[in-house]
Amino acid sequence: MGGSRNDKWNEKNAEMAEALRLKGDVQAGQEDYKAYCEACHLPNGRGNPHGSIPQLAGQHPAVVIKQLADIRSGLRSNPKMYPFAMKLRDAQALESVAAYLATLGVPRDSGKYEGPNAAKLIAAGKVLYNRECVQCHQSNGDGAAEKFYPVLAGQHYRYLLQQMVDIRDGRRRNSHPDMVRVIAKYDDAQLVAIAAYQATLVTQQRQWTVQPGFCKETANRIRACSSALARNKVARLCSSYRTVRVIRGLGMLRVWPRRQQGTLPNKGRQGPSRRNWRP
């Protein structure tokens, strides 16, 4: 298996190129996601732990755009996804859905390998993963957005395994040539081990600063917004709040009041205004 058959793996058609240049509208993306995606991928984006439907929450927007564009253009064959991907109106809709998914927290309860030999298999998978996979997907499975390397951490074991088998066996035509070359030598047992280990990874912490959004409650009613915040994992902040740290993998939102200087409280400082929520 060589890279020659994958010479178009990242061919940017006009739609994909345009979507990558645009700025996503998170609210519009949420509406499209609810209309076309939520029934299968669920409101929190976690998909199916059995692996038939991937978890999308927290995925790099560039990766989501590429996969949607590839499905729409036929570069990636996915008959189940195709009719839903085609419902998105244009490049702006692709970017907006991708932007919305990026606001969702990566779940910790994704599908894992649960065989009686799990500990031994995961240990073997870690050795294989650190031998080659780590060079692109990073030690924490966070990937690289600028290179279209997906977030693996938080993904379901069975989905990870199926995609690696499909790439190795030539059924996923939009795979990076280096991925095709590396994975060609692994047998089924080794791929099971690698997928079992990948499913145990957790993502690194990330931070965003966002503008006050759709939540209009006053500060003393901010707790009333906590359920919406938990669902979206993004700040729909009341007018007196400005900065949110979203810690992926921990399922926690930390909100600090806006200070006069416009900065966060000192590191480690615990004040009465700091509020922690666990969805």
Beta-strand runs (E) in 194-271: 208-209, 241-247, 252-257
What CA–CA distances, in Å, run from 80 to 37, 52, 91, 168, 270? 12, 10, 21, 21, 49
Residues 56/57/59/61 CA torsion (nearest 10 deg): 90
CATH class, 4-102 region = mainly alpha
The mean of the pLDDT values for the chain is: 77
Are 90 and 15 in contact by the 8 Å Cβ rule? The answer is yes
pLDDT at 270: 43
The more confident residue out of 182 and 209 is 182
pLDDT at 24: 95
Q: How confident is the model at residue 250 (pLDDT cuts 50, 70, 90)?
A: very low
Tell me the pLDDT tens digit for each residue of 68-115.
999 999 999 999 999 999 999 999 999 999 999 999 988 888 999 999
User: Which amino acid is present at 138?
Assistant: Q
**What is the CA 101 to chain-centroid distance, rounded?**
7
3-state DSSP: the chain helix, strand, coil percent, rounded to 5? 45, 5, 50
The CB density around residue 276, as the number of other CB atoms within 10 Å, is 8
Tell me the pLDDT tens digit for each residue of 188-201.
999 999 999 999 99
Give the residue from 7, 234, 6 showing the smallest Cα distance to 100: 234
DSSP state of 149: B
What CA–CA distances, in Å, run from 105 to 6, 14, 85, 192? 32, 30, 22, 26
What CA–CA distances, in Å, run from 102 to 21, 38, 222? 16, 15, 23
Say yes or no to pLDDT of 152 above 90: yes
Residue ranges of the chain assigned to CATH 1.10.760.10: 4-102, 118-198
What are the helix (H) ranges across 22-156? 26-32, 38-41, 61-73, 82-85, 91-102, 118-128, 134-137
Reduced to 3 states (helix: H, G, I; strand: E, B; else coil), residue 156 is coil
Are 62 and 145 in contact by the 8 Å Cβ rule? The answer is yes
The third-level CATH classification (topology) of the domain covering 118-198 is Cytochrome Bc1 Complex; Chain D, domain 2 (1.10.760)
**Cα dihedral sign for 94, 96, 97, 99?**
positive
Are 37 and 97 in contact by the 8 Å Cβ rule? The answer is yes
Reduced to 3 states (helix: H, G, I; strand: E, B; else coil), residue 217 is coil
Average pLDDT of the residues in 228-242: 37
pLDDT at 6: 52
Percent of the chain with pLDDT over 70: 69
What CA–CA distances, in Å, run from 4 to 44, 74, 133, 163, 175? 38, 18, 21, 20, 12
